[in-house]
Structure 1
Amino acid sequence: MLCIALAGSLLCLARDWVKSDEHAVIKLRAIVANLAPKKKALGRRTKERLEAFEDERLLRQLLTLPIHLLQEAKSAKQPRKRAMLAQSAIACELLIYAPLRVENLASLHIDRNLERDRERWLIRLPGSMVKNGEDQRFEIPAEAVGRLKAAMRLYTQSDGWLFPGRSGDAKRSGSLSGQIKHIVEQRLGVPFHAHLYRSIAVYLQVRANNAQGFERGRTLLGNRDANTIRRNYSYLADREHLRQAQEEITEQQLSAMRKRR
């Protein structure tokens, strides 16, 4: 613990007193993060909420929610409701393709963090915005870009903030998180929190790619420690292997029954 405190003090000195360059501050921030105690595996509540999305119907509803929210926003007559639905559609769309932490999502600035000069948009986060101190980059496919453009036309991005608050600054992360939680729970009828999008991103990769899914999930979340991803999500791979084994057994049983006829 003494090492952590010392490293934290050095970071404060470098950032606030010495005014070190950004690169040095990023490296010190990464050192502090590496010295911190390792986090425990996913909590019981998160696992229970994630398990609900093993239901294919519910998963489809979550993945198509941005489309439905955009349709509702287009037909909304009240400007405030239209803006709220459009922002929710954008937030849910982005979290599917770029499972950012809500703090980063809320602070997205159109000119500083979005590259919109091509068919596919790029989201760029400098290391100073990211927990592990490393730059992050996400590519948003053309299909989603079309919906994002349509949603952005439905409200004003004050001072370039993708999610502007009432004061004209970026919306507070707590407000955006609550907005996402409310809209998903209202439409899907299950307990939810915005951070769950990150777990669902890993779940989708592990389910589709087995062992490779851990590395893809690690990349999506911007986590440098592959062991953390395996520790938190290995149970998903085990569950998927069990499901595939049961399907194989069922197929063999049906084949045996056909041969007996």
Structure 2
Amino acid sequence: MAVSPAEAGTGKDRLANIRSALRFVLRRLDRLDDNAPLTPEWQGLLGPLDYRQRAAVTALAHYCSAKGMLPIQVGTEMFAGFIDWLVQRTLTANPAKLAGATRRAWNRFAATVPGWPSQVIESARDPRQGILPLDAFPQSFRDDVAAFEAWLQQSSFERKRTAAAGDTAAVGPAPNGTATTASAPTPAASETRGRALTTTSWKPLRASSAANRAAHARWAASVLVTTGVPIEQITCVRDLVQPLANAEIILMELYRRADNGPSARGTHIADVLRIIARHFIHAPPDDVARIAELGKPVRLQYAGLTQKNETAIARALRPGADLKLRELPDVLMRAARQQLQVAPRRAVSLALRAAALVFLLYRPLRLANIIGLHLDRHLQRDDPRRPDVHRLQIQAAETKTNHPITLPVPPAVNRLLQHWITVFRPLIAPPGNRYLFPGGGKPDGHITPQGFRDAVRTAVHQGIGVKLTPHQYRHLAGKRYLAAHPGEYETVRQFLGHKRLETTINHYIGTQAEESAARFDEVVTGGIAPKPKRGRPRKQPSKPSGAPRKPGTPGKTPPGKAR
């Protein structure tokens, strides 16, 4: 695990020296062999690459050189040994991440670099735990997953309209996996169409949420395959819940894999199976109830913050870390201004992190909303002639809870935003791009969710030694406010944009234990005077003979002296 200088409580150079000394000792003890010289074959292969390309496969080249393996011998079979070597014989902070990046780089070079070995390294997965790619399933299942994803993004009105017209995406496939049409409806399709017309109100999911649900359906199908069901028999989404035994097999297998307990994967799959049964294919109520009952043991029950979130928030709220975190946006922006002339790209990176972090500290929006902030649509100015931003306004259709967001912009946020918008953002924003945080590889796009996460997380880890995800700043805001104003959950609900008060209470009621105990102690002990100490009062020690007296204070006459 990577350790930042702030986390280690030392300077950057000192930490580098410690790592270097540790690596030297481990090599002398033959515990590391991560610096084996490259063989001529590997030197010749890497020679035409630029610095960044070579860095992407250098670890693999050193491993193969140490093992006497030629580039032509690289493949899926040997890659598991490379991963074990990263874990056991190197000081790599994240072996799995490096292995994945190496595999992707190798495959990319195999397709684009002349003379590169043509063999491709397949993703190494545990066959008992792995998730199969979508293209491993029959075409009919892939088509139905795409229809399910599109259906999730439809409104109730659109579903009713397309159901009445016989649209397959709205009513789901027939039991045998074939498409149902208005001209030749099957009995099951006719029954489904009637139910779809009376469906309750449903807010359409965002594209990213719908894609996640579709992926969870693929996860469920993958679990079914690993239990022995032939993949050819999974021809449509309906097959995940009908016959009912399929849903039972999936959920019981997830329960077993989690050591007879709940898991995050179990939660996602249980939810999507219930959605498919109840809403997409309109299974009989008894089947829906059975799937919901089977899903309870595998679903995580959240009461308060998770242990992971509690630990991260507690570390961020330590007195020293909390103060550094509040000051970090200004520190990053000052560093950006200092780097602007000598290293513009580095300066832009620092300024972006400063602007993102100050937003998360003062206005912790959900990730989708903060990366999608638009200069004209969301950042409102009282005086169009002045650049100062006074309000943040997001329409209801753009929020998770379908409620609009209107918040004032504090001066601290506005000040750093102006630096970012006027000085640093123009250096990376393509012409016509109006997103606050442009990027994502598109001229008119915004920064990707992962890019935003990495930027903020790296800055805070290096600055104060704590790792926080963007969403954890919402928990941090709620925790801070309730510590100062215990019990004011409604204020937190409105500020964080929760739809229901129960959501806010369930998240933060556990964080109020210490404050509640302190207030309870005040009530219990209030008005009770401490008991007086027994015994004679202790005599105060007299001052030394040489101690000065206050003017006019009588004292003892020294021997042999008259008064």
Question: TM-score, normalised on structure 1?
Answer: 0.79
Partner of 1:130: 399
Q: 1:155 to 1:258 in 2, by over 3 A?
A: farther
Conserved? CA contact 2:153–2:204, under 8 Å: no
Gaps of 5+ in 1: 19-26
Deviation at 1:216, TM superposition (A): 1.6
Partner of 1:56: 319
Q: 1:148 to 1:247 in 2, by over 3 A?
A: farther
1:92 corresponds to 2:361: no
**Counterpart secondary structure, 2:155:** helix
2:203 partner letter = R
Percentage of identical aligned residues: 22
Conserved? CA contact 2:313–2:475, under 8 Å: yes
Greater RCO (CA < 8 Å, at least 6 residues apart): 1
Q: 1:244 to 1:82 in 2, by over 3 A?
A: farther
CA distance in 1 between partners of 2:531 and 2:319 (Å): 29
Deviation at 1:83, TM superposition (A): 1.0
Partner of 1:107: 372
**Counterpart secondary structure, 2:377:** helix
Partner of 2:14: none
CA distance in 2 between partners of 1:257 and 1:100 (Å): 53
Partner of 1:11: 155
**Counterpart secondary structure, 1:138:** strand
Partner of 1:170: 446
Deviation at 1:100, TM superposition (A): 0.6
Counting only pairs closer than 5 Å after superposition, residues 196-235 of structure 1 correspond to structure 2 as 196-212=472-488, 214-235=489-510
Q: 1:256 to 1:54 in 2, by over 3 A?
A: farther
Deviation at 1:66, TM superposition (A): 0.9
Q: 1:242 to 1:149 in 2, by over 3 A?
A: same
1:82 corresponds to 2:357: no
Conserved? CA contact 1:93–1:144, under 8 Å: yes
CA distance in 2 between partners of 1:154 and 1:257 (Å): 66
Conserved? CA contact 1:74–1:154, under 8 Å: no
1:49 partner letter = A
Q: 1:249 to 1:258 in 2, by over 3 A?
A: farther
**Counterpart secondary structure, 1:117:** coil
CA distance in 2 between partners of 1:57 and 1:240 (Å): 20
Partner of 2:382: 117
CA distance in 2 between partners of 1:99 and 1:172 (Å): 17
**Counterpart secondary structure, 2:446:** coil
CA distance in 1 between partners of 2:531 and 2:465 (Å): 41
- Output one character per residue of 1:115-173: Cα deviation in whole Å (capped at 9) or x when no partner: 13355521111112110111111211123312221232223144111111143321111
Give the paired residue count. Answer: 244
CA distance in 2 between partners of 1:171 and 1:9 (Å): 23
1:193 corresponds to 2:463: no
Of residues 307, 312, 337, the one that matches 1:44 is: 307
Conserved? CA contact 1:108–1:161, under 8 Å: yes
Q: 1:146 to 1:54 in 2, by over 3 A?
A: closer
Partner of 1:65: 328
Conserved? CA contact 2:154–2:205, under 8 Å: no
